[in-house]
Structure 1
Amino acid sequence: MHNVLIDHLSTAVLQLNRDLQIEYLNPAAEILLAISRRRIYGQKISQAFFENESSLAALEAAVISGYPYTKRETEILLTNGKKLLLDYTVTPIMSLHSTDSLLIELYPRDHMKRISQEDEFIATHQTSKELVRSLAHEIKNPLGGIRGAAQLISRSFKDEALKDYTQVIIEESDRLRDLVDRLLGPRKLPQTENLNIHKVIERVNQLISVESEQQLTILRDYDPSIPNLIGDKSQLIQALLNITRNAMQALLENPQTNDKCITIVTRALRQFTIGTRRHRLVCCISVIDNGPGIPEALLKTLFYPMVSGRPDGTGLGLSIAQSIVHQHHGLIECNSQPENTEFNIYLPIETAVQG
């Protein structure tokens, strides 16, 4: 009964025996430490994560003394090479005046920071989107009048040279209208269906292969256990295409990058929080390229409309992608450094799409 309750906790919990071997860990600990309970049972705690030699000595001392202790803002190294900043508490479980086992509770600091950043980003993105929509409508209305007036004036001119001038006005009005339409984003309601996310990704991979003219390699690392999700197939293709196309352009425009490569990874994440809501199951799609990376100054505003790191970029692709994913109750995050830029798309599997 106790294990059932602990299994449903959002706090990562491990239980060690007197020899510091893992006897139990809950699903939250599996997710946090990126390990499988089946493979880690009976292994030393150092096989799950490593802090330093003094931390192992402290655990051994807790077994002997029976005194609990807490460590704040310590960094641990996971088996996959990633580092985590967290607090943890060690509580000895006593039986007949001796320690039977140790209970370790892990509280990730960077995880809470990420949740706070997500909340702030979602609120800022929503405000920005509403502002852009209002501005786009204000621009679009007079554009129609300008175009109509130019057409009327053109009919009254007999001089072809003067008609050319009015044609310039008409064509530029059309160009601005198309730009405004892109700012407004998808205009139709999502047409949801039960879909396989890997079919969406394969369609995008096919389009990128054609556009890149086979000048780069696309690697796949799929998790076949991911179930179907409810979503708009065409919109999800558009969102993923915008992100993958950015990666392709960054690679092709950088002659210094050898072995140009985009890697697409899918994983199923359990008990994952997006914003303030915790989801039972989330699909994570990672688009990773080995290009030059994104300047740090752009990272915080990357998903805002009209923000681009390319001289000829419109800055709308990522903003539209974020809006589409947000309609699916999801989120896009980006981490970048030279030769490793990673966009992570999180899509809840059990929820419906917003209208």
Structure 2
Amino acid sequence: MNTSTISLDGLDLLASAVLVLDAEACIAYANPAAENLLESSFKNLAHQKPQDLFVNGEEIAEIFEQALDHQFSVKRQDMILERAGREPLQLQVIVMVLDNPDLPVLMELHENEQQLKLNREERLLDQSQANKELIRNLAHEIKNPLGGIRGAAQLLELELPEHHLKELGEYTQVIIKEADRLQTLVDRLLAPHRRPHIVGDVNIHEVCERVRSLIVAEFPNGLTIKRDYDLSIPEFRGDKEQLIQAVLNIAHNAAQALSDRIKTGNAELTLRTRVARSVTIAKVRYRLALDLHIIDNGPGIPPDILDRIFYPLVSGREGGSGLGLTLAQTFVQQHMGVIECDSRPGHTDFRILIPLP
């Protein structure tokens, strides 16, 4: 490849990060995508050696030496490059030898999306397992004293003198009602672990239609629910009620987030089904998977909680319990699947992946 055929200005337009190195292995050019990826301007990158940008950059130095020795013309290599005080970069590095003694090497850096996806899924599974243990332990620790508090309040109410009953009875009723509210919360936390997994043939479109009817009944005006179904998706073995609850929790959250748009009549919720091929979920490769999207045109999830939305008791809505998405993720994981989320203002997309036979 001859650099006379390369326009460095043209490289500015590429979405992938590109570095051109001089004969001393120093950066002679970095396009805007490289500046974004490396979080540094070209002014700061210029004349630095790429290996010096990373804690473990020796491998880059070695590849550059191989390029100068003409041991290859093009080389691709996956790397995890560590940076001091920042997240490591998981990259596919493509190194090309150029027929130009002044600018002998071009490096193209691509974030390794597949590896990033696997890491996200692994974190989700670890988080979900930790959540389960936390929820079980916390719920049992709350449940026992809660029963005692409620019982004591009832006994106290029975022992109150009649002339104090009206005045003090209000306080005991507050204790009893709040104890009942906490009991309901604990029951919801324990629900996925108590209820038996009832397996049968599941048609995902029956699940979606059930959810749609429930959302329409609660939000009859101002919300348009679009259906974009692939009717060729086969039935699969699963717990229909759990999946209805999982999809309903997500769709209901979305409808509540659309409250402002519902008032103006331009709220949209889309249920989309597709078949995904060659999908990896929790490090297991599946030939086919259900690819269900629940999309809304609401304000989006606040960035500060986006990475924690599946944690229990984390909610972006005032008055929310923060349990809906936690339970949804638990139910989907019991089907060997996973829920992913992509959100920005005007577009939030929850994607459910479940293996198909």
TM-score by length of 1: 0.68
Identity of aligned residues (%): 48
> How far did residue 87 of structure 1 move?
6.2
| Alpha-carbon separation, structure 1, partners of 2:256 and 2:347 | 15
SS in 1 for 2:301: coil
5 Å-filtered alignment, 1:203-214, equals: 203-214=210-221
* Residue number in structure 2 paired with 1:3: none
Does 2:133 match 1:133? no
| Alpha-carbon separation, structure 2, partners of 1:284 and 1:338 | 23
Does 2:207 match 1:200? yes
SS in 1 for 2:258: helix
Match of 1:266 among 232, 250, 273: 273
Does 2:289 match 1:286? no
Judged with a 3 Å threshold, the aligned counterparts in structure 2 of structure 1 residues 349 and 312 are, in CA distance, closer, same or farther, namely same
Does 2:117 match 1:114? yes
* Residue number in structure 2 paired with 1:316: 323
Cα deviation code 1:299-337 (max 9, x no counterpart):
110100110111111111001101111111111000011
| Alpha-carbon separation, structure 1, partners of 2:211 and 2:341 | 19
> How far did residue 109 of structure 1 move?
1.4
| Alpha-carbon separation, structure 1, partners of 2:277 and 2:216 | 32
* Residue number in structure 2 paired with 1:179: 185
Moved more, 136-145 or 250-259: 250-259
| Alpha-carbon separation, structure 1, partners of 2:328 and 2:15 | 38
| Alpha-carbon separation, structure 1, partners of 2:178 and 2:257 | 29
Cα deviation code 1:173-228 (max 9, x no counterpart):
10110111112232211111011110000000111111112321111111122110
| Alpha-carbon separation, structure 2, partners of 1:196 and 1:259 | 30
* Residue number in structure 2 paired with 1:47: none
Judged with a 3 Å threshold, the aligned counterparts in structure 2 of structure 1 residues 86 and 203 are, in CA distance, closer, same or farther, namely farther
Q: Indicate conservation of the 8 Å contact 1:306/1:315, yes or no.
A: yes
Q: Indicate conservation of the 8 Å contact 2:340/2:352, yes or no.
A: yes
TM-score by length of 2: 0.68
Q: Indicate conservation of the 8 Å contact 1:86/1:110, yes or no.
A: no
> How far did residue 241 of structure 1 move?
0.3
| Alpha-carbon separation, structure 2, partners of 1:258 and 1:208 | 15
| Alpha-carbon separation, structure 2, partners of 1:323 and 1:294 | 20
Judged with a 3 Å threshold, the aligned counterparts in structure 2 of structure 1 residues 192 and 203 are, in CA distance, closer, same or farther, namely same
> How far did residue 255 of structure 1 move?
7.0
* Residue number in structure 2 paired with 1:35: none
Judged with a 3 Å threshold, the aligned counterparts in structure 2 of structure 1 residues 214 and 87 are, in CA distance, closer, same or farther, namely farther
Moved more, 154-163 or 121-130: 154-163
Does 2:232 match 1:228? no
| Alpha-carbon separation, structure 2, partners of 1:69 and 1:223 | 41
**Contiguous gaps of at least 5 residues in structure 2:** 1-13, 19-71, 79-90, 97-109
| Alpha-carbon separation, structure 2, partners of 1:257 and 1:246 | 18
Cα deviation code 1:30-85 (max 9, x no counterpart):
xxxxxxxxxxxxxxxxxxxx989x9xxxxxxxxxxxx8634579xxxxxxxxxxx8
* Residue number in structure 2 paired with 1:304: 311
SS in 1 for 2:147: helix
Match of 2:337 among 327, 330, 337: 330
Root-mean-square deviation over aligned CA pairs: 2.6
| Alpha-carbon separation, structure 2, partners of 1:223 and 1:232 | 21
| Alpha-carbon separation, structure 2, partners of 1:299 and 1:336 | 8
* Residue number in structure 2 paired with 1:93: none
Aligned residues: 261
> How far did residue 143 of structure 1 move?
0.5
Q: Indicate conservation of the 8 Å contact 2:339/2:353, yes or no.
A: yes
* Residue number in structure 2 paired with 1:160: 165
Does 2:176 match 1:170? yes
Q: Indicate conservation of the 8 Å contact 1:257/1:292, yes or no.
A: no
| Alpha-carbon separation, structure 1, partners of 2:148 and 2:173 | 15
SS in 2 for 1:268: strand
Q: Indicate conservation of the 8 Å contact 2:294/2:349, yes or no.
A: yes
